[in-house]
Amino acid sequence: MTFESIAVLHSPYKEKFAVPRQPGLVPSAKALLEILPPYDDINAFNGLEEFSHLWLMFIFHKNVQTNDWNPTVRPPRLGGNKRMGVFATRSPSRPNPIGLSLVEFHGIKQENGKIYLQLSNIDLVDGTPIVDIKPYIPYADAKPHASAGFAQQTPESLMDVQFSAEAQQSIKCHRDTQPELKQLIVEVLQQDPRPAYKKNKPDTKTYAVHLLDFNISWINEGLVTNVLSIEPRI
C-alpha cells in the first residue's frame, strides 16, 4: 500500500518538543492546512463549511522508524514508568506511523491560487503530512460514557506559568503581530512538556523550544514554570 499526502500542515510547533500530547489541550494553537495538487479543487470541499470539527489522518514524519517494533511503550500520562501495549496507547512509536487528530475548523481560505483550511486546537508539528480529512460527526464519534482506561479524564494543567520582566517586554513588543503569543505560551507550558520522569523531581535545567517564530526558554521550580526569554528567530 502507498499513500500520497493530500495536504501539509503549517503549525506553530516547529519541533516535536512541547507539542501537546493530545488535541484540544491548547486552544490558542492555530494552523493552516495547505491543500496540495491535484487535491486543491475547491469542489472537493463543498459542504465542509457546515462542520465545526475535522478528523485529520496524518503521518508521524518526525518519528524515527526502524525495522524493529516494540509491543510495549511507556505512556507519559502514566509518568513514563509503566509499560502498556502499543495498541492500548496513542504513542507515535507504532508499526505504521499513522496518527489521527481531532481539530477545530474555522473555514476555507483561498490565497495566491492555493486552498487552506483554517484550524485550531492543533497537536501536530509543523510540516506534518496529511493523508485524509474527514468531518467529525457528533452522534457517531462522540461517546461520553465510553471507558478510556488510563486516559479517562482530561489531564490537569500542571504548572503555574510566570514571565520574567524580559519576557514580558518581548511580548509587549510583538503584541501587534502576535496578539495571542502569551496565551499560547501559557497553554503549552501549563502541560509541562518535560519528559515524564522529570516531574515532581528537582530540576535545574533550562529548557527551550521553537514556537511560532520565537525561541522560548524557561526553567521549572516545583509547580512554577518561569519563562526567561522570548527571542525572535532570525
pLDDT digits (tens, 9 = 90+) for 199-233: 777 889 999 999 999 999 999 998 899 999 999 98
Mean pLDDT of 168-190: 95
Q: Which residue range forms the structural domain that includes residue 190?
A: 160-232
Q: Are 216 and 208 in contact (CB under 8 A)?
A: yes
> pTM for this one?
0.89
Q: Which residues contact 110 (CB under 8 A, 6 or more apart)?
A: 42, 116
Is 172 in a helix, a strand, or coil?
helix
Residues 44 and 125 in one domain: yes
The answer to the question of residue 31 being in a domain is: yes
Is 147 part of any domain?
A: no
4-8, 153-157, 169-173, 188-192: range with lowest mean pLDDT: 153-157
Total domains in the chain come to 2
First-to-last C-alpha distance (Å) of the chain: 41
Is 155 part of a structural domain of the chain?
no
